[in-house]
Structure 1
Amino acid sequence: MTTPFDGITPLPHLGVIRAEGDDAVKFLHGQLTHDFALLDLQHARLTAFLSAKGRMQASFIGFKRSPTEVLLVCSRDLLTPTLKRISMFVMRAKAKLSDASEEFLLYGLAGSAIEKVAGSAMQTSAKADLGNISIIGLPPADTVPRALWVAPAGTPAPEGTPLAEGVWAWGEVQSGVATLTAPLVDTFVPQMLNYESVDGVSFKKGCYPGQEVVARSQFRGAIKRRAFIAHADAPLHAGEEVFSAAEPEQACGMVAQTAPAPGGGSDAIVVLQLSAAESGALHAGSADGQVLRLGTLPYALKDDL
């Protein structure tokens, strides 16, 4: 790494949906890909909200602030339409969903900043509460630990070395776990972003919208696309198509998330047809666009476990 990945940064690109009420947990359990019924106060969940066809509408980091209050952290550009859609299913449940983005502060912590703020290292998906402050372990980036700091508005910001927004974005890419944004809505089933391999899907819970599609993809060998980490020498954009020189007339994938690379160019999470990933000679934007070079994921895929 040529750029230090150690410090603290605000996360204005994220928003917060609050679910509260006696049925809040039960309601979310029936709507999202992960098990919220068994979620305790010491852990968080990576999860997604799907269409009936199994396509991702939003992704979240969800955690309980109390037995009757859950916060869902998501990309801010998806919050309003996602909140509207999920709220349609509340009906008679004793649960209220609202946009609580202005009621909470969100910061990213990287490297030694986590121990300085939390008092100890954080495992992925572990949650520690310091009064009203919640700190959630995130997947590491290039082996460097990361965490999400969430606190009520008005709470003093965590102290530490400022971390540039672009460097944090690069860390998100290096984690290999994409956050769904507006250009990607209704494009991927969770396995295309490797969510089942990073504990973003439970196959033991009950039904939720799109569950049959997800299960069929998993157990009938229907996963034909996967997420990979890639590098290009010029800027990339979420939603940009990827082409293979072997079949230049048709896109074989899409850029899911991107950030400036410390050494120049762009790093990205890209979703590719498995056959195209194996063939090499990948290009962004068009069949003769800039070259994409695939890197190594920081985790094993479920198929490989």
Structure 2
Amino acid sequence: MNFADTTVASDQPVLVPLIDQALLKVEGPDAEKFLQGQLSCDLKQVSSANSLLGSNCTPKGNVISAFRLIRPTDEQILLRMPKAIREPALANLGKYIVFSKAELTDASDSYTGLGLQGAGAEALIKKTFGEAPDTINAQLVTDDLVIVRVPGLSERFELWVPGAKAASVWEQLIAESQAGGTDLWKLAEIQAGLVQLDLDSVEVYLPQMLNLQALEGISFSKGCYTGQEVVARLQHRGKLKKYLMRGWVDSTLPPTAGMNLHSPNRRNVGKILSFAPATKADSDIPGYEVQAVISKSAAEGNLLHLDTQEGPQVELLPLPYNIDPELFER
């Protein structure tokens, strides 16, 4: 990992191969019905024109996988998630789909994922494909290619390209953009407050601990799904103790996923989920932005330390969305 990966010119959008992401495919006449009973989000809002975030939980409400749902056709739904959690996601959904008129497969090798972000990204999408999704989560399907506009501090798009067309699409886009490493995309995901689960985080957190309710990743009106009772109880009784936060740490050594955070008075008040090299805002000081689930009470003092109670201090940064305070107070 290297800080050069996050240093690019600002006058062109950046094109990033999404090599750390996987795609699961659910296909068949019962694809929507099956997923509606398994996932936290409302599948009726997922269409060829609209993508959505969601999660798959255990009966106790613990998140096995968190993902973006993409719908190329009526009977085909893709779940885009980190490769690190692909196997448990496949295993859990596979236990239940045998009773449905739908099939679950790993479609990662059928598509190439590209991320395009930065000033001029929307203009380049329009120039290349004739139009671009114009609102967050809007989706465009054109010529078997799927384009999704995703949240971020700048213009950001995910493109999922059938393998045979990937080289051609890359050449078209890179002619008017610059190549970037996956750390650039990870950094933008952290800044957007979009959870990036790793294998050690499977079945550890409830969806609200990952802020999915703030990102339309939980429906409280669609009816039953696996884990729904626990998730709804937390939402309405307001006993959330920890949630996903964003921070920056001045450290020459990279954090690691799973690394603990500590306060002066308490150990293990948070855990790192993801990180990426980043200079501190309004300065040229190198460090790392981190994404972590942190105890609300420990975070209020903003005196958090990485790895040990004497480790580098983690400075909390604002999220681009609000967390309903009643989640903590009801």
TM range (shorter): over 0.9
Contact 2:244 2:292 (8 Å CA) reproduced: yes
Cα displacement string for residues 14-66 of structure 1 (whole angstroms, at most 9, x for unaligned residues): 01101001101110111111011342220001001111111111111112111
Distance 1:239 1:185, change over 3 A: same
Q: Tell me what 1:237 maps to.
A: 256
What runs of 5+ residues in structure 2 fail to find an aligned partner?
1-5
Name the aligned partner's letter for residue 209 of structure 2: M
**Is residue 8 of structure 1 aligned with residue 12 of structure 2?**
no
Q: In the alignment, what sits opposite 1:197? A: 214
TM superposition score normalised by structure 2: 0.87
For the structure 1 residues 4 and 296, does the alpha-carbon distance in structure 2 shift closer, same or farther, using more than 3 Å as the test?
farther
> Aligned-pair distance for 1:2?
6.8
Corresponding residue number in structure 1 for 2:315: 293
Superposition deviation, residue 204 in structure 1: 0.8
Contact 2:133 2:147 in 1 (8 A): no
Closer/same/farther in 2, CA of residues 103 and 192 from structure 1, 3 Å limit: same
Matches within 5 A, 1:111-260: 111=118, 112-118=120-126, 119-120=131-132, 122-140=134-152, 143-155=153-165, 156-158=168-170, 159-160=173-174, 161=177, 162-234=179-251, 235-247=254-266, 250-260=267-277
Alpha-carbon distance between aligned partners in 1 of 2:216 and 2:326, rounded to the nearest angstrom: 15
Asked if structure 2 preserves the Cα contact closer than 8 Å seen for 1:78 and 1:182, the reply is yes
For the Cα contact (< 8 Å) 2:132–2:140, is it kept in 1? no
Correspondence for 2:94 = 87
Matches of 1:120 and 1:77 in 2, distance apart?
30
Structure 1 residue runs of 5 or longer lacking an equivalent are none
2:62 is the counterpart of 1:55: yes
Distance 2:220 2:113 in 1: 30
The structure richer in strand per residue is 1
SS at match of 1:216: helix
Counterpart for residue 266 of structure 1:
288
Q: Over the residues paired in the alignment, what is the CA RMSD in angstroms?
A: 1.8
SS at match of 1:172: helix
Residue matched to 1:68 = 75
Task: Give the AA of the match of 1:257.
Answer: S
Q: CA separation of 1:189/1:114 partners in 2, compared to 1, >3 Å: closer, same or farther?
A: same
Helix, strand or coil at the partner of 1:257: strand
Amino acid at match of 2:259: E
Identity of aligned residues (%): 30
Distance across 1 between alignment mates of 2:312 and 2:8:
24
SS at match of 2:214: helix
Q: How many residues align?
A: 301
